[in-house]
Structure formats: C-alpha cells, structure tokens
Chains A and B, each alone.
Chain A
C-alpha cells in the first residue's frame, strides 16, 4: 500500500527535487545568518566568535525614542498601500475587460506598465518638481480657486503622497496578473448568463469576480507579508526633516542607524522582527481561508 502510493507520487518528488535543492542552497543555508540578530556581530569576529547578546538588539529597536511613531507610520503607509494595490489593479483589469478593441486594450496595458520602470531616484526628482508649491499640480489647484498644498512638506499630506504615487507606479504591473486571471474564466458561463438575461454588471458581480477570487485572495495574503514594508527606496528619496513625523518608517530609521555604523545586528534583528510578523499574518490568513472556506491559498 505504502509502496504503491510512493510510486504514484514519485514523479512529484522528482519534479520538486531541483527546486528544493536550489532553495536549500541559496535560501536555507544563508538563513544561518539570522543568528547575528542575537549577537553583536562584527565581520572580523565571524558568526561563531561574535558576542552573544540575547534579545538586546530587539530591545534596542523597541526602546528607540521614535519607535512607536515610526511603527505606526510604517503600518499605516503599508496597509494603505496594500489596500490600494489590490483595488486599483482589479478595477483596472475589470475596466479593460469591458473594452472590445484589442488595439486599445493592448495600448493601455502597455502604457500603464511603464511607470514600473522608473526608479524612485528619478521619480523623486519628478515628484519634487510637479508637487512643489509652484509646480504644475498646485497651479491647477490654485486655478480651481483652492489653497495650494505642500504635498511633500505637510504631515497631513505626505503619507498620502507616498501611498498614491506608489500605487501609481505599481498598478500596471499588478493589473497584468488580474488580466491573466480573467482569461481563465470559462466563456460558456457568460453565454449562459446572457441567456438568463443578466446584464454586464451582474455578470461582473456573479461570474468575473468569483472567477478571479482565488488570485485575489492569493495576492491579498501574500501582500499581508508586506505590512511592515512601507517602501524604503520611495521614502528615502522623498522624505525630509519636516515630514519625519508622518513619513519616517522602520527601514529608514534603521538605515540612519546603519550610517552611524552599528549596523549588522540591528538590521538583522529588524529583518527578523519583520519576517516573524509577516509569517504570523500569512499563516493566519492561510489558516482562516482553509478553515472557513475550505480553500488552500497556496
């Protein structure tokens, strides 16, 4: 019985073997580096001889005077990004799905993917120009008779500047995934719905969205792992002293400490902290989906 089962499943193991070996070599072996989170690590001393300090590095991070403010900023910015990164690409994909003209569809698809290729260094330059008080956006706002907005220097606006510009940069990329998901929906379902007299809106609600649901849930779960990643490159290139209060995040704070040279162990500790939080969130959502929908996300 066992042998028979094994023979049946043998090809599965064979197929997985290369992937398992590569991941072991290039992901699991380097994970021994996690131990430096519990050390005061210096490259000259190596992984075995560096001083063990227990949870001191974590304590250090949690005790930083700005920690609670920075943690809040991180969670807020990241969560808003996660939400918008789900909604905007899904809506865009649905809107594109309603377009008949293949040429138009393809053009839009290509154009909205382009911002993905702009690095934050160059984008920051552009944003500083167009969002400055004399920039084009504020000229339009003033033309409409409203007060100009200090997008990059006002603590009420700065987090939203981050969230929206990041969504803008990223949504074309994510839209592609949902478009691929749309192609997998069985066309006969739509035909049946048309015969039943369902309009496009009803079709979207009852066929398209449920058809995309597995991919949506998957993307949601995986993005939960980012709840402490608010985007280092972006914040680093856009923030400044007046908006530290609303825009300083964990990664930028630790980066500044790194500049003062006490870097390896503290950033490893921060990384481990972030990993653990991600792990818990992903596992919980995996568990919930399985328990309540009897569905395995991955």
Chain B
C-alpha cells in the first residue's frame, strides 16, 4: 500500500508521534516512580524523597515478598492455575462463541442461549451463596476452585462471537459444500483467521488469572495453598498502625513499610504482560495477512 506523503500528512505524522509519545510518558513515568519506590529504603519513601530514581537503593522489599518459602510454592500454584485456567477458558470461549456467532436462521435457539449467558454478567447472588456452591461441590482447597467457577468468561465469548461474525461468510459456505462440519470449520477456518482476537483474549485471560487474589484467600483453607497474588496480598496488607496501643506490636509492623512492598508487588503482578505480551503482539499483525491470503 503506497501513501502519498503530502505536507499535511507529514505534519499529521509529527503530531501523532508527539501525542503517542506524550501518552506513553504519562503512563510510563508513574511506573518508573513505583519502581523507584520499590527499590528505595523505607525511610526515604516515608519522608517523600523518592521521585524517579531510588534513594538508598535496596532490594529489601523484593527480598521481603520473596523471603518466605511460600513465595515459590505460591508461584507454582499460580503457574498451574494460569495454564489450566487459560486452557479451559479458551476452549470454552471458542466452543461457545462459534455457535453463538451464527445467524438465527442457522441456529434457532441462539438468542435464548445468548441471553442465558449475558444474564450471568448482570446478576449475581453475592458472596455467601457463591461460597456455599463451591463448598457443596467439594472444590474448596483445590486448584479447581480457582479455575472452574470462572471457567466461562462470558465477556470474552461475546467479544469473540463478534469477531467471528465479521469473517467472510463465503468461506463458511464453500467449506460446507466441501462437506466440512461445524467442528472442522471452527478448527480450520475460524481459529486461524481470528488470531488477533484470540491473542487479545488470551492476554486478558492470563492476566486475569495471574492477578486475581480474592478467590484464593477465601477458597483455600490454608496459607500454603494460596496462589501468588493472594500471598502477595497478605504480605503487603498491614494493619493500621494508628489503632494499636502496644508499642512492641507497632515495632514489628514498622520493620516493613507497605508502600515499598506494595510497589514491589506491582512489578511481580506485571510479570506476565512483560513476558507474554511481546510474544502475543506478533499475532496482531499476522491476522491481516492470513485473512487476505485466504481470499
């Protein structure tokens, strides 16, 4: 594709680059600040002396969050969860999005199903019934409690079904004439043609599983079964010092500062995106090529 580079085009490009660089800086600088916090001594942080560069450099906050053997055990549980959870989520997303992307003429109960799914985003029963349900299914304290209750990511399904609907109908029809069934069409046409959407959904899923902490805290019956985010959540939560009357107690709380450890937590939380995202980004471009080649 050739674009004529007119004067207005060039100036637009200039402005565009400027805007995007500014936006990136606005997003990046606070992260640098948090990184600096996580690598500074607690006193400098409390005194408000840290901006973009660590003061009194120390790894203490990272050592603190990773000091207990539990950190690595939790990391293992989280990896298990991310792998299991992502596989299950993606499989169910594909399985549900494909039939729901069909026209009503091809699948009469489509709308009934769609609303059956959408209702679950809008209505919920609250904490206690949620817990009782999982307990009664005997899932408490097992990895499945972290994976199965959220097995059907309805938002992702709806997103993907919209992407599916935009695929050219002709391919679908010609495949059918060639005798391909629904399963074949899903596997060999829909999936390869939707890599950008699938990459997006995979990213959301991985990040979601990596970062969710509340379910781990409530559904696991012992701290040694906490996934990483739950574990980090517990080590960085410090009681409000102003409520204590026992100086001995206050002294222990004071050995660590929640601001530096919270900052360290942010970077542990960002790991998956730093590791997975660059890899997934390739698919954002490949999608087009594949699509146009097929036609």
Contacts and interface: CB of A to CB of B under 8 A. Distances in A.
Interface residues of B, number: 98
Contacts, number: 239
B48 A129 contact: yes
Interface string A165-193: 00010001000110111011011101100
A176 B120 CA distance: 24
Nearest to B125: A33
A218 B162 contact: yes
Contacts of B183: 11
A126 B27 CA distance: 13
B73 interface: no
Interface residues of A, number: 84
A106 B282 CA distance: 9
A278 B92 CA distance: 25
B200 A180 contact: yes
B284 interface: yes
Q: Describe A's contact surface by its main secondary structure.
A: helix
A225 B121 contact: yes
A96 B20 contact: yes
Interface stretch (A53-61, A72-80, A107-115, A147-155): A107-115
B109 to A, nearest CB: 8
Given A107-B24, A129-B48, A172-B27, A9 B262 contact: no
Contact of A279 (B92, B107, B122, B128): B122
A108 B20 contact: yes
A273 to B, nearest CB: 11
A122 B287 CA distance: 37
A107 B274 CA distance: 11
Nearest to A169: B27
A26 interface: yes
Contacts of B157: 19
Given A19-B95, A118-B266, A27 B120 contact: yes
B130 A33 contact: yes
Interface in A9-58: 9, 11-13, 15-16, 18-20, 22-23, 25-34, 36, 43, 47
Contacts of A271: 124, 126
B129 A33 contact: yes
B8 to A, nearest CB: 8
Given A29-B133, A30-B132, 16 more contacts: A8-B106, A9-B107, A23-B120, A25-B137, A98-B12, A102-B285, A108-B21, A114-B27, A122-B263, A123-B30, A184-B291, A218-B158, A222-B158, A225-B122, A264-B126, A271-B126
24 contacts: A8-B106, A9-B109, A12-B107, A18-B92, A19-B92, A19-B157, A22-B92, A23-B152, A31-B123, A92-B20, A106-B278, A108-B24, A112-B27, A113-B277, A114-B28, A183-B196, A184-B166, A184-B196, A184-B287, A184-B291, A187-B292, A191-B1, A222-B121, A275-B122
